[in-house]
Structure 1
């Protein structure tokens, strides 16, 4: 124990500034930007507003991307450095031996595997712009007056980035969310009832992203789910249904809710680029935004860009083994073996990955193929119409996106942006395929790309909505088999309901829809349960609260509390016999919302009448006790303001800065995700950025982040947008030069070196 205490002190004492950061004003943060020696060819102006949103004006495209890299490195240097460690499987360098097996799993996933082939295939323009961005990022990283406060705490030193590092970060952001579903299901393979569980999982489309995991695998899940573009809502409204006559576009990405935000807002103009939007820190692309002609947003398709293969029967020569060295902070370097096969790396060699004893499973992933998202999104940012925009995604691979666009002329459209195996069917009994079966490997012989997939332009309804729901027909064409796990249709149904009821929509209308907290399916499920509990004395307090509830998870709702505690007490009692050992597991696959809406009433009604009455009586009795001890939904359901370092042992509490009541639920348009709950809890995943644009007006673009622009601990712009996010206010990022000059009054000048 004394040695452990000394080890912790050695790790933590240098990090006192991170634990108690010095305040830094906006002007101080701008003064710290390392402009001297910037490698620009012509003068560059970076304008700033009061929230440290940059608007970059450059005379060459190359200088624009250098300046953007400089901005990313200055505002989010520590965040990008940590994303590199995760993408490269180097977390042990800051976390010590605790993270060794996590790093082994990340080395097996090998997010940088395709980087050399991607670089080799880049067009010359992409090569030049990426090099400029990396140069700007490294200028900020290596020339800062002092490193970010987190560096001392984590034992990091400034280290230049490579293009391969950024491609690995991009692949991390493109993680296949289906992996999380696989992790939840793999331990149950071969057990009684697994075939039924898989069948129901596919039928429900449950993503099982909340499955119970041990601590290290839970951290892997947080890395994958929290950094990937795992969820979102996007709406597009045609000009004939908008108040201005211009098409409208609105997006609100759903990601991890820790700070810094996983988006960075920016505006830009150069000879080829003129746009405003949200960028992934460390990547030179706009994932959400608009230019003068077209606006765009995307939602994760939840498409299965991966397959698991049983490779246990392959001959020894089919395996290639490499020993990797994992440096551990304040400890010896560890070594681990990474094996690969023609069907991908052997995932089950990682000790943190759940599996049956004896399983040898390989993961084949499109992310290990040389698809080119950077070139695609650079072209998309300059598209002038819907056809050009869709064509830009011909090289796009991961993560698969439902892309929506809105044009200045009032047109709207949607298409699937992905590269995916040409599957003809979903596996019937088991998600794991036999590597020796030609029928199982055949889909990988022909990869479908964006031009091969359905799309729609100007639908009859005059609006489009996407919310990670099961793929639907577009333009009269049914989609191929794209995956297994999707979000419930609650959000998309609610969005369409609101859009249909708004004949002349405004940007304010779309912003209100983004903040909507109603779940129609929750209302229907609550009413059905109340009907079945009628006459049960123990249920009286719950019935009184649920009567007439419309499914709105407002902060002051008591009905939402009654419904959620009832679910938490009822669902474990309905577990199938073979899973009774998991009755205390509130994150088992059967607890997911898709399962609840698909099977809860069906399973309840299938019980003999006496057993059904007993189950309802037991659940209602305990739930009523819970309900009496609780207040409103907002008092129970919280949104925490915290740095990602809150996950550190011992000192993590220093990085939690408070929490607030919040409305919403798992599948409300304003998503604030949670599992089964019976008390106060924190929503860790959900709506964390918002964008709305009216294409009739180049200046009509509004953005807000949960948190702020600046990742520097102590900065005035670290969490200054939290009140705006809570109060549903936004920041305008215009495109007209005269408006930019007025709204972004501070200016930083980059001058060519003499």
Structure 2
């Protein structure tokens, strides 16, 4: 790991290093703080290989990045091997995901986490698990049982992850309920982040006007800052909140076959929230990205169909004021929260017909005496695992579409391309059948039958928008409002991404008559935001119109003619963002914090120039001059966007107090912005800042060649601290290179030379 830190140009203070070293003698699990360098062969040598719960031998081939390609004689043996591999490569990560999903953070962090655990117990990600499991078809039950057996074999008998001692964890068998809870955690409704921000503002002067503007802009909340200590900050990096996906028809493809590309946008912590795998058994033959701890391919390719997707940003939840419900509508239980370094404590959990009472948790804002419940589609007994197992075996677009009848959360736009040349998109979700959204605020009245009625009839994938083979031969999705592509879609949400990203993707796709996989890979690294250029031009017009001309003319020279490209070496992007950060807060209504939706890109593109135009001339002149004058000294300290826009490579243990700095591998300049195709999210910019959310994995497939499947993770395959495969893909990610995951057996044998044989 020391070599990795050197390569990534880590910056660590001597004081921080000394303090971390001093703690080494005081803590168990010191291997996490000073991990031994471990080679690929050393990691493979510790994988259990004999006496396994298999019907026959299973062969796993590995490439130099520790990507496994599994060949099994039965589907259940494949599932067992997948569980073994997941546990071996990502056992520590899966254990942490379980602790979050089951509200057990206090068992690692002590009393500091108990209020978060209370909120997580109220959310109860495992609520629907018993009924989901009861409804499983036999093949899903068999696959999950075998996967769980493999995962538990390595969990209980394999080497203990280095971070276990540091966090006070012990090997503990997983249950199907644990895995289903992890799946629901990954399906967190991204609208919760906006809800929590808005709840804190309800009742304050100006909230009604702010809500109307929020609906008009369709703004989602600014991503929480790195290490921000609140519930949204905890959930933001774990939910499938963003992404791009594109599909190209054969008429636009250089190979004459359909193509697909997808790049998820999630938290940029290590290990990555995806795991690369190839597999073959009697029913499965596929490569792709898997969620650690779940036996499904979220994005990938089989010989006949390739698929990817983006978060729909649909409101799969509603908040209800249940304060006026009769006492008999509430059921109450006690949750026991075990605390490291302290005694157990109990907390109240109340349930209503409209969901659990969320405001019983102190970390959820609410008015005094008000009880708010959360009704969420994730509490329904839907079955994403069966849907995605079916999708992985689809032989054409029609079979792929039919796989998602029981898919609920998180709501997704799935794009697909098949070997016959069909490209399409479908909406996979379970949503209440709304007729609209409230104009007064996000909280509904639980005593009003009209407010609760939409949950009596739920919409499924077959009721929601879909599209196949568009006339222009390209599809693009980037968390945009369905109104941009679907005819009269039902009301599905409030908060979508600005249309900037999807417009840029479409422009790039249509700019070339014949596209190649290399073109799609370049598209994923594009850093241009067209609306930023429009805003910069509008600001320049206002500044040039100032009496006597604008101050700091040399500073503004960088903005003239800027096309909106947030390349790391861009001077214009730096200047634009510094001016924006000084100007925007002065335009906010009094009392607004600047951390809510008003600082999101949707708000900026919708209201910035309009609000400037609405000001009296004297006030507008004052604010523009002040913003420019205050931005100039900062712009003098830095040369380019990458000087302040920094991508940190760090293990998730960086969130530990005091010791966290020991888990930073380094930081590096990076391009991109809030709504560029290569997304690197940020808020208002006052100087150097860390990107904590954005484009963290890439995938491209050409259906004309079974071997033309290219993947990259920000990070690496292995979650084992010190492993040679822990962060080895970061240079690939930075340089735009990829790893091929082929489907032809001969290519697999040639490019995955290390062989492990698992035996019963």
- Shorter-normalised TM-score: what interval? over 0.9
The Cα shift of 1:99 comes to 0.4
Whole-angstrom CA distance in 1 between matches of 2:478 and 2:25 = 43
**Match status 1:156 vs 2:169:** yes
1:733 aligns with 2:741: yes
Question: 2-side partners of 1:384 and 1:11: how far apart?
Answer: 57
Which residue is 1:181 aligned to? 194
Cα separation, partners in 2 of 1:550 and 1:214, compared to 1, 3 Å: closer
8 Å Cα contact 1:568/1:586 also seen in 2: no
In the alignment, is the contact (CA less than 8 A) between 2:89 and 2:718 conserved in 1?
A: yes
C-alpha separation between the residues in 1 aligned to 2:627 and 2:229? Answer: 33
- Correspondences of 1:438-517 after superposition (within 5 Å): 438-472=449-483, 477-517=487-527
In structure 1, C-alpha distance between the alignment counterparts of 2:421 and 2:141, rounded to whole Å: 35
- Secondary structure of the residue that 1:657 maps to in structure 2? strand
For 1:292, the equivalent position in structure 2 comes to 303
Q: 2:632 aligns with which of 611, 624, 637?
A: 624
Give runs of aligned pairs for residues 67-466 of structure 1, distance below 5 A.
Answer: 67-144=81-158, 146-210=159-223, 215-217=228-230, 220-466=231-477
4+ runs deviating over 4 angstroms: 8-12, 211-215
The verdict on how the C-alpha distance between 1:455 and 1:358 changes in structure 2, with shifts beyond 3 A counting, is same
Please say if residues 196 and 364 of structure 2, whose CA atoms lie closer than 8 Å, have aligned partners that are also in contact.
Answer: yes
Q: 1:645 aligns with which of 639, 646, 653?
A: 653
* Matches of 2:163 and 2:293, distance apart in 1: 17
**Structure 1 residues 196-243: Cα deviation after superposition (integer angstroms, max 9, x where no partner):** 1111111111111436899531xx223311111111000000011100
Contact 2:222 2:599 in 1 (8 A): no
Give the length in aligned residue pairs. 738
Aligned 8 A contact 1:636 1:681 in 2: yes
Residue 709 of structure 2 is aligned with which of 701, 720, 734? 701
Question: What is the DSSP-based 3-state SS (H/G/I as helix, E as strand, rest coil) of the residue aligned with 1:538?
Answer: coil
The Cα offsets for residues 542-563 of structure 1, whole Å up to 9 and x where unpaired, read as 3211000000001110000000
Name which of 557, 565, 568 aligns with 1:544.
557
Aligned to 1:667: 675
Q: Which secondary structure state, in structure 2, belongs to the residue aligned with residue 69 of structure 1?
A: helix
Residue 712 of structure 1 pairs with residue 727 of structure 2: no
Paired residue for 2:16? none
* Contact persistence 2:24–2:30 (CA under 8 A): no
SS where residue 261 of structure 1 aligns?
coil
Shift of 1:300: 0.2
* 357-366 vs 124-133, which moves further: 357-366
1:2-39: per-residue Cα shift (whole Å, max 9, x none)? Answer: xxx9xx96995113110010010000000010122211
**Structure 2 gap ranges (5+):** 1-18
Structure 1 residues 598, 186: closer, same or farther in 2, change over 3 A?
same
Deviation of residue 159 (structure 1)?
0.5
Contact kept? 1:300, 1:399, Cα under 8 Å: yes
Q: Conserved in 2, the CA contact under 8 Å of 1:345 and 1:364?
A: yes
SS for the counterpart of 2:686 is coil
Matches of 2:732 and 2:88 in 1, distance apart?
A: 23
Give the secondary structure class of the aligned counterpart of 1:278.
strand
Whether contact under 8 Å (1:257, 1:686) holds in the other structure is yes
Residue in 1 that maps onto 2:581 = 568
Aligned-pair CA distance for 1:589:
2.1
Cα distance in structure 2, aligned partners of 1:702 and 1:98: 43
| Length-normalised TM-score, structure 1 | 0.96
Tell me, yes or no, if the aligned pair for 1:239 and 1:409 is still in contact at 8 Å: no
More off after superposition, 349-358 vs 81-90: 349-358
The answer as to whether partners of 2:83 and 2:147 remain within 8 angstroms in 1 is yes
Residues in 2 aligned to 1:9 and 1:407: alpha-carbon distance in whole angstroms: 55
Distance change >3 Å, CA 645–CA 385, structure 1 → 2:
same
1:273-319 per-position Cα deviation (integer Å, ceiling 9, x unaligned): 00000000000000000000000001000000000000011111111
CA deviation after TM superposition for structure 1 residue 741, in Å: 0.4
Contact 2:377 2:408 (C-alpha < 8 Å) held by counterparts: yes
Call closer, same or farther: CA 1:406–1:214 in 2, change over 3 Å: closer
Higher mean C-alpha deviation, range 30-39 or range 67-76 = 30-39
Q: SS of 1:200's equivalent?
A: helix
- Counterpart Cα distance in 2 of 1:284 and 1:448: 26
After superposition, the Cα gap between the structure-2 partners of 1:207 and 1:730, relative to the gap in structure 1 and judged at 3 Å, is same
Query: Alignment partner for residue 615 of structure 2, among 604, 607, 612?
Result: 607
SS in 1 for 2:750: helix
Q: CA deviation at 1:521?
A: 0.5
> Structure 1, residues 120-155: CA drift from partner, whole Å, max 9, x if none?
0000100000000000100111111x3000000001
Q: TM-score when scaled to structure 2?
A: 0.96
Aligned to 2:530: 520
Structure 1 contact 212–588 (Cα < 8 Å) conserved: no
Question: Contact 1:232–1:468 at 8 Å: present in 2 too?
Answer: yes
Consecutive unaligned residues in structure 1, runs of 5 or more: none
Distance 1:11 1:447 in 2: 56
- CA–CA distance in structure 1, aligned partners of residues 671 and 557 of structure 2: 21
**5 Å matches for 1:683-702?**
683-702=691-710
Q: Report if the CA contact (8 A) 2:58-2:757 is conserved.
A: yes
Aligned partners of 2:631 and 2:484: how far apart in 1? 41
3-state DSSP of counterpart to 2:229:
helix
Distance between the aligned counterparts of 1:114 and 1:488, measured in 2?
33
Task: Report the Cα distance in structure 2 between the residues aligned to 1:304 and 1:77, rounded to whole angstroms.
Answer: 32
Q: 1:43 and 2:54 equivalent?
A: no
Shift of the 749–14 alpha-carbon distance from structure 1 to 2, 3 Å rule, reads: same
